Structure 1
């Protein structure tokens, strides 16, 4: 274990992170995220995106619940286990899913892509949920759905178009790419559904 090894993945400045966030939110269908990160994928952005999402979703949604709480139902309580679940959900999705996809790409797809690049891609794909979480502070289900659906669409499009560029390098062609992309979209849909049902 060496800190110098990990230092390269946290060697970004504010401008780098801002450009990556902009690419993820403003132009999700461009499929140019690999060009944006170049040879410098970072874990700084993904780490803080997940931490921010845990904070916003744990406190924000409970705040909305507090606003609508009826005192006749008893005292309002905050369920701390939601924070633990959030850590597992957000960090698990942002780090374990791309690690699994990287393994499949390397071993079965014949694609030599970097693990750090996929981790970076998945971390920044979640950035669009930060403003959504802020909008979900309002105790209005219609507004929450209005915030959630476009966020899910933007995040899904960002992942789809960028992962498609990686999978296109597979020598196995469509026989590998089609089910692989189905798994990517399916996993993201499951994540979104879990996010909506448990947090929002």
Structure 2
């Protein structure tokens, strides 16, 4: 019985010949049920990774949307959150700094940035060097003297603006933390000081003072002093208006001392801008 079953299951000689003859040319296989599947568009094919499940690469949004994922300071994603602004946002914040009629802290909300402070400081550096050089060339030409370019002013402008924009707010934040201020935020302090420097761009351009071409050096010097004073007044108003609630979170005596320190530091910046970049001693008796 077992032998007959084995014999029935084994292919016969005739079936074997049929299998071999399938590869012969001209053999008509007739209608078959063979179908070709598209392995590129099917979603239910066994072994295919569904869309969005490829773990070899995940877009940045997948990391940003994961609140439980720790972000290292050595990754780009950590610093990207500090530059999450568009050009329109930066321009609007610059306008608020030039015309401080509203609370800047309320305007930026939970999105302070480092993009604006860095590029504003860089712009002020270039404008200060350009304006100072051009104003010096005009003053020398009027006095009949040969003007020599001073490229050390570029390094001085970089040290002044980058130092004031980033070091001063860090020191202020550290002092506030020392006095246990609960409202002190480092990024907000840097953002405030960075956008406060916007006023020095028009101040530097006005300080070129083309009036000096008509041989009025004294009038030109007055224009420079007035522009520096206006720049100091506008930027100080902007800083005090937005820093006062934070400074007021400390003791009354401490808040007054810090407020005076903020004003004096900003006044020192205004004097340095005027005396280092726009002070010319040209011997000329005509006004």
Answering whether residue 231 of structure 2 is matched by residue 144 of structure 1, we say no
TM-score between both structures, scaled by the size of structure 1: 0.91
Contact 1:62 1:78 (C-alpha < 8 Å) held by counterparts: yes
Match 1:157 to one of 232, 237, 243: 237
Contiguous gaps of at least 5 residues in structure 1: none
Runs of 4+ deviating beyond 3 Å: 70-73
Aligned to 1:21: 94
Q: How far apart are 1:72 and its partner, in Å?
A: 5.5
- 2: CA distance, partners of 1:110 / 1:60: 40
Deviation at residue 116 of structure 1 after TM alignment: 0.8
Residue 54 (structure 1) aligned to one of 125, 147, 151:
125
**Corresponding position: 1:130 with 2:130:** no
Q: Bigger radius of gyration, 1 or 2?
A: 2
- The count of corresponding residues between Structure 1 and Structure 2 is 195
| Structure 2 counterpart of 1:64 | 135
Structure 2: gaps spanning 5 or more residues: 1-73, 213-219, 279-287
| Cα distance between partner residues in 1 of 2:181 and 2:228 | 36
Larger relative helix fraction: 1
Partner of 1:193: 271
RMSD: 1.6
Aligned partners of 1:191, 1:111: CA distance in 2, in Å?
A: 28
1:81-100 correspondence to structure 2 within 5 Å = 81-100=152-171
Point out which structure has higher relative CO (alpha carbons under 8 A, 6+ apart). Answer: 1
Q: Give 1:99 shift.
A: 0.1
